[in-house]
Amino acid sequence: MANLVKHQAYKQQHLQKMTSNKEKERFVVSYVDSLLDIELPEEGGRKLSDNEVVSLCSEFLIGGTDTTSTALQWIMANLVKHQAYKQQHLQKMTSNKEKERFVVSYVDSLLDIELPEEGGRKLSDNEVVSLCSEFLIGGTDTTSTALQWIMANLVKHQAYKQQHLQKMTSNKEKERFVVSYVDSLLDIELPEEGGRKLSDNEVVSLCSEFLIGGTDTTSTALQWIMANLVKHQGVQAKLREEIERAAAGSGGEEDIKQEDLQKMPYLKAVIMESLRRHPPAHFLQRAVTEDVSLCGYLIPREATANFFLAEMNWDEKAWEEPMEFKPERFLGIEGGAVDITGSREIKMMPFGAGRRICPGLGLARLHLQYFVANLVRRFEWKAVEGEEVDLSEKVEFAVVMKNPLRARIIPRRKT
């Protein structure tokens, strides 16, 4: 990314090399291309600086990676809960060829285990869920740690790229050589610091952020949403009705599709209300670039401004009954006026605001809408008997549930 920014003629050179209109039609405008083409009218039409583009690319690359593993864990847990799935699936197969292709999954293997030392008993639901959890999320630190060591060694031996290129025996091989994120970091020179290279520690730190930074926020938001749906059964029922109406309009397919989400305003309201009531981060920081007077106070250049997002979201002057979970506040004319991008009045900004807003905003909202819609359509979510949903908070990387959600999940029967 840094090298693309540094050498802005790349796109033009690439297009010139194309020998046919067909090739040009296939050329995809990347996120970096878009950033390089931006002109800021409020600042005299200037282009983004190298540092601004690199920063935006970093945010784009590291946001919201936990959602898929979280969804997989839910799938495994529900497969365990309903052990007849395998038999039902096999019965539906209409040919021996299909049966031959049936793959025995990790869950199938667990369900078939008999423990001879305990009288041949099967694993309990809790034991299978625990093993699935370990399979899905256990040991993930080891991979990122190994990657970090790899990155550190690549940094320590910066001749790797040149040696690798020298080993290539043909131009075709050289054309296929991909400039990686680490290559870009190794090539960076800091003009404001006399053109020095990044230190080993700086590169390792940036690689760590690239690999593990920003992964908790989406999965945390998903857990808060589902916790509120368990606690507020009326909201869950209303949401399911909307989902079924939208699904019926698209042929009643089993899974909710991305295009179906556009017909679900209440779903969006539920997600917005959860982000308002339980923002994954309670504050964010911004650097002050010049002296500014605000409400009679002088905010000096290079000061750090802290924005307390939760306090904004719970302000009684901005929200009616702010501590209540009411998705309806985001419906209608009043709800449509709530802007989370900073273009108009800011009442909440779970993704930041303005030029430095999280570039993963759209993707995060899409993931949340997709997962919540399918989870609510497939299953009825209830509190565990004898327990109440505890919405107490605990600060970790993000603000998470102090007592993680435990729910009773019941498959919905198709009518």
> Encoding tokens for residue 394?
């605990």
Cα 282 to Cα 204, 243, 329: the distances in Å are 28, 31, 21
DSSP letters, 38-86, are -EEGGGTTEEPPHHHHHHHHHHHHHS--SHHHHHHHHHHHHHHH-TTHH
CA distance 177 to 201: 26
> Encoding tokens for residue 30?
């990347």
Residue 49: which of 360, 290, 355 has the closest Cα? 355
CA distance 367 to 221: 11
> Encoding tokens for residue 258?
């991305």
Phi and psi dihedrals of 335, rounded to 5? -65, -40
Annotated binding site for heme: 358
Paired strand residues for 292: 299
Paired strand residues for 169: none
Annotated binding site: 358
